[in-house]
Every structure is written in structure tokens, then in C-alpha cells.
Amino acid sequence: MKLAPQSIPYRALQKVSGVVLVIVFVVNDSARFGTLPAVGLAAAVLAVAVTYEIAYYRRFEYELTADTLDIRSGVISRREREIPYRRIQNVDVSRSILQRAIGVAAVDLETAGGSETEGAIRFVTPEAATSLQREVQRLKRDTASADGVETAASTAPDEELLFEISPRELALVGALSFDGRLIGLLVFVGSGSVPVVSGLLPDASAVALSGVVVAGIGGLVVVSWVIGAAVSFSNYYGFRLSRAGDELRYERGLFRRYSGSIPVEKVQTLTVTDNPAKRALGYATLTIETAGYAPGQGGEGGNQAAIPIARRDRVYDLAREVESFGEPAFARPPRRVRWRYGIRYLIVVSVLTGVAFGVDRFSGVDAPWYAAALLLLAVPPAAHLQWRHRGYWLGEDHLLTRNGFWSRSVKAVPYYRIQNVIDRRSLFQRRWNVASVVADTAGTSSLVGDDAAAVDVGTDDAIALRDALTARLQASLHDRRSRETGFEWVDAETVSPDPPTAVDGDSDVDGDADDDADGDADDGAVRERE
């Protein structure tokens, strides 16, 4: 199958529009040349780009074979790529405003291997994109079943709507998505104006200066809040999540439309996050994570939220729909760690007070530096809250961990997704006789150190937890294997006349279809010839 013909001019312009603009402005403005050479040069560049894109269009071909998606591409160096369906993790479609106007869509196919997108199809018509998405899902299911030509599985499963964002929730997402990092950015950008402001206030009294500072900080908070609200509003506009067979499908976006599919089989971790505002209103966010990649991470805030916001009980219901982890009863760390947190906060407050004192002493600004010491009052409650919001729970099939008292996240990791178990004890943790146990998965957020972790568990509990996690991983693997094999045997007897081959096929399939979807990074998720 070919790309959409509209993609030729679009791709060409996308590549060289910057260069063309520069040429027009620079050459046109220079005295030696003039408008004519500028236009000529720009036209030449455009012509080269269009020619290249025509060649690219003619050379680009994708094909859905019985068990692989083949992509042949490349003008100068040719590349043939075969992606087995069962290795495909997500299929995402995105369309920016301009792409919607000319009727094209970008399709991205992800496997667990590699950090980049393995199959990028730029661009096809929206209809072709959707049918590709559906077709890949169907073929994946077929190859996953023992022999791949079963007729019953070929019919598309019904799509069941799980969640659709209501205007009220959308407004809440906007209002509650306050991103502290934006303040930092704005301060950085705005720091250039500080000399200007201080120039305007030559004989500023301390009070006036503090007033300006307070007003400035207030303004920053408001501006960053508005920006954050606008960004998440446009990100989650028209969000809907549905389930079709063994796949979750989502759609979202105001300006740039995203749609994608998340295979339930490949889910690594579920994360439910909230912050004090969301907790007070009874709302929470659900994030679903698959291996090596986060859906919609294409720059738009790196979000992979499955449910941007919903009532807490609804979020938990939806999470249980994906991974039935039951009703968690978290075990908190030992009470003594509250002292550890208290001391930690005490150090932070003393440093802050010290800095304030230093500024007061050496800059000549007569600010009430001792005000920073008032934060001392907040230390005991903060330490207590941090302790209160930590915990872990060993469910029947899942490890649940809970961390963070401001932005709190509850993570559910199925035992059979665990890759490593790491038990860490820093110098300070050893003093308090506690340890942290991290369950490492192949999920993405663990790349940024956001693994499911039982933090500051008593040492004995940590050892027990570590052993329990490895034991339960083995048990669950064993469990799944025997269940799969049992299932395959029944299947083989009813469908295939030749059971031994079916079993052979199974031992080959199982490595991936069940548990280490995560793990296939290296065993040739993508076959490639160049």
C-alpha cells in the first residue's frame, strides 16, 4: 500500500519551508542580489525537495502480510523492515491542524525494542490510518491464536466505551493541572527584566521591594497556571477511552488529534496519581504504561495519561478493569522514619533560613529573614504526612506501592512484569534500620527513576518483601505458562489436526505473547535489511 499523495507537497514544505524563508529574507534583502534570484533560488530548493519527496512516495510501500507488517522505504539507501504483529506494542495515529486540513495522518508503530519509533508511516489518509490500526490489531490476534487462520477471531470485536471526558472534568483537568516547572521557565525567561524593574524603583524601600516581589510571584503563578490549563485543555479535549477486545483505544486533542491503541496484554504498570486539590475534590488520574514507550509522548508534555481526571472510585474501577488488583490495604513504614523525614526537612529549613540571613546581612536589604524560620512549624506535620502516604501492599497478583504526600502516586505492578528486584540502603537509611525495595519493570517511567518502590521499609520486612517478590514472579510465570499451555492444547486438539506442531509453535510464541512482551527488546523485534 502507498502513502497518501497529498503527503508529497506537505512533506516537501515541512522539510524546506525554513530554508526557503531564510533564502527569501536574506537574499532578497542583500544589496547584490534582488527579488528575482531570491525567488529563483527558493523555487529551486522547493523543486529539489518535491522531487525527492516524489521519489520517496514512489519508493515507500507498506504491506500487511500474514504475520508481519513490511515497510519498504528509502530513496538513496533502501530499507526493508518486517515487524511481526505480536511484537507491536502500540499503534498511534496523530493529526495536527494542518494535517487535518489537507487530510493526512501520521501512524507510529512501536515495539519494545529500541528507543525510537520502529514503524513511522508519514503520511496516509485518515481512513487508511484507522484501517491500518484496526487491521494490525486483528492480525495480531490471529497470529496470537495457535494457527492464525481461525475464522471466529477475524470479526472485529465490539468497541465498548469505558470513559468519555465530560465538560466539567475537562474544566477540572485544566484548572488542576498546575505545573511548577513552568514557574521556573518563566522566571528564567523573565529574569532579563529584573534590572529594568529595579531601575524604575531607584529608592525602593524594603516594603515596596517585597511588595513587588510578592506581586511578581503571584503573577508568575497565575500565568503559569493559565498556560498549564490551556495546554492540558487542548491535550485532553474530546478524550475518550474505549475497550475493544484485548485492546484499549484512546482519542484526544483539540488542535492535534491523537488516537492510539494500547494492548491490555502489554501493560506494565498502572499508576493512579492525585494531589491535594484532586484529593479534596475526590478526583484522580490514571496512567497506563507499556514497555519502552509512552503513548502520546511525542513532545506534548510526555503524557501517557489514560484517564486525565475522573472520580476516584471510577478511576479505580477502570484500573481494575485492566488489572484486577483488588482492594489494597497498605502497610506503612515503621513510625521511626517520621523522625528521619523530620530531620531532613529541618535541614532544608535551616539552609533556607541561613540563605535568607546571608542575603539580609550582605545585600543590605532589610528583609525579615527570620520569617523563613516559621517554616519550622510545618516540619512535624510534613514529616507525619510523608510517612502516612507511604506504603506497599502485596496483592494476589500485584504489588502496589504508594508514595508522595503532595503529588501522591499509587502504582500497581503485576508480579509477572517484574524484571529485577533491587534493595537499596543508603548510609542514612542504615542508621534508621530501613531499606527501599524497587520492583523494576520494562515500563517507561522507570527510565526516569519512577519505579514502583516500597520506600523506607524496615530491614527485615525489606528482605521478606524482596524474597516474596521474586518468589511470586516465579510462581506467576509458572502459572501463566501452564495456563497458556493448557489452553493451547485444547486449542490444538480442536483446531489443528497436528498437535505436536501446535505445541512447537506455542513454545515459540509464549516468550512474548504472555510475559516478556517487555523483554523482547533484543531478540529481533524488527527484522531489517538495508
In sequence order, the 6+-apart residues with CB closer than 8 A to the CB of 264 are: 243, 246, 247, 248, 322
Burial track 69-106 (b if 16+ CB lie within 10 A, e otherwise): bebebeeeeeeebbbbbbbbbbbbbbbeeebeeebbbb
Query: Whose Cβ is closer to other proteins: residue 319's or residue 517's?
Result: 517
Is 470 among the residues that bind other proteins (CB under 8 A)? yes
CA atoms of 249 and 237, how far apart (whole Å) = 15
In sequence order, the 6+-apart residues with CB closer than 8 A to the CB of 76 are: none
Is 511 among the residues that bind other proteins (CB under 8 A)? yes
Query: Whose Cβ is closer to other proteins: residue 159's or residue 467's?
Result: 467
Q: Give how many residues touch other proteins by CB under 8 A.
A: 43
Is 84 among the residues that bind other proteins (CB under 8 A)? no
Q: What minimum distance in Å lies between the beta carbon of 482 and other proteins?
A: 9
Query: Whose Cβ is closer to other proteins: residue 64's or residue 468's?
Result: 468
Handedness of CA 152, 158, 160, 164 (dihedral sign): positive
Query: Whose Cβ is closer to other proteins: residue 407's or residue 507's?
Result: 507
For residue 190, count CB atoms less than 10 angstroms from its CB and return exposed for 0-12, middle for 13-18, buried for 19 or more: middle
In sequence order, the 6+-apart residues with CB closer than 8 A to the CB of 371 are: 356
* 408 to 427: interface string for other proteins, x by CB under 8 A: ----------xxxxxxxxxx
Query: Whose Cβ is closer to other proteins: residue 263's or residue 443's?
Result: 443
Residue choice 45, 104, 520, 525 for contact with other proteins (CB under 8 A): 520
Cell of 132: 491500518
Is 430 among the residues that bind other proteins (CB under 8 A)? yes
Is 30 among the residues that bind other proteins (CB under 8 A)? no
Is 351 among the residues that bind other proteins (CB under 8 A)? no
Cell of 21: 524563508
Is 294 among the residues that bind other proteins (CB under 8 A)? no
- Contact between 439 and 415 under an 8 Å Cβ cutoff? The reply is no
Q: What minimum distance in Å lies between the beta carbon of 266 and other proteins?
A: 12
Is 403 among the residues that bind other proteins (CB under 8 A)? no
DSSP 333: P
Among 17-25, 201-209, 235-243, 446-454, which window interacts with other proteins (CB under 8 A)?
446-454
- Contact between 251 and 164 under an 8 Å Cβ cutoff? The reply is no
Residue with cell 503559569: 224
Query: Whose Cβ is closer to other proteins: residue 15's or residue 481's?
Result: 481
Residue choice 75, 485, 499, 505 for contact with other proteins (CB under 8 A): 485
* 36 to 55: interface string for other proteins, x by CB under 8 A: --------------------
Which helix (H) or strand (E) element contains residue 89?
strand 88-95
Residue choice 87, 243, 398, 466 for contact with other proteins (CB under 8 A): 466
Is 478 among the residues that bind other proteins (CB under 8 A)? yes
Look up residue 327 and give its amino acid.
Answer: E
Q: What minimum distance in Å lies between the beta carbon of 180 and other proteins?
A: 25
Q: What minimum distance in Å lies between the beta carbon of 494 and other proteins?
A: 21
Give one DSSP letter per residue of 227-275, joined into a string: HHHHHHHHHHTT-EEEEETTEEEEEE-SSSEEEEEEEGGGEEEEEEEE-
Asked if omega into 330 is within 30° of 0 (cis), the reply is no
Is 270 among the residues that bind other proteins (CB under 8 A)? no
CA atoms of 151 and 162, how far apart (whole Å) = 27
Residue choice 85, 441, 458, 525 for contact with other proteins (CB under 8 A): 441
Sites for other proteins among residues 102-161 (CB under 8 A):
112
Query: Whose Cβ is closer to other proteins: residue 313's or residue 523's?
Result: 523
- Report the chain's C-alpha Rg in angstroms: 28
Query: Whose Cβ is closer to other proteins: residue 364's or residue 449's?
Result: 449
Is 17 among the residues that bind other proteins (CB under 8 A)? no
Query: Whose Cβ is closer to other proteins: residue 403's or residue 444's?
Result: 444
Residue with cell 471466529: 152
Among 18-26, 96-104, 322-330, 437-445, which window interacts with other proteins (CB under 8 A)?
437-445
Rule CB under 8 A: which residues touch other proteins? 112, 291, 418-427, 430, 438, 440-444, 446-447, 449, 451, 466, 469-470, 473-474, 477-478, 481, 485, 506-507, 510-511, 516, 518-523
